[in-house]
Amino acid sequence: MRSVDAICEVSITGPDAGWLREFTRRLVEERLVACGQHIEAIRSVYRWEGRVHDEPEARVMLHTRQSLVPEIIRVVRAEHPYDVPCVLATLIDHANPDYRAWVVESTKAPGEEA
């Protein structure tokens, strides 16, 4: 497998499922991701600014090329409503070869225009 074909799953959480859906749609339109799978109701328990919080959130798992993760992080940091948004990327070691090819085909090469 060439490194340009390496794919990953990027998880992003947010406070509002609607915002996260629209954000995902834009990432797909811009060919930064092939798709996003949403879980619209999760709970997050975390420490922030010295206090423990228990809040409802939404999560999306995005499928993309590993090489596009830095650009996705840049866009998230610029547009996400949180001061420190959760963005985690996990490299996919094994996948259906047809699905892997679809993810690569559906996303742009680094530096390529959408």
Interval 48-89: pLDDT, tens: 999 999 999 999 999 999 999 999 999 999 999 999 999 999
**Do the beta carbons of residue 55 and residue 44 sit within 8 Å?**
yes
pLDDT for position 50: 97
Between CA 70 and CA 29, with CA 114 as vertex, the angle to 5 degrees is 90
**Do the beta carbons of residue 81 and residue 58 sit within 8 Å?**
no
88-98 mean pLDDT: 96
**3-106 under CATH 3.30.70.120, yes or no:** yes
**Do the beta carbons of residue 9 and residue 92 sit within 8 Å?**
yes
Whether pTM > 0.85 for this model: the answer is yes
For the beta carbon of residue 27, count every other beta carbon within 10 angstroms.
25
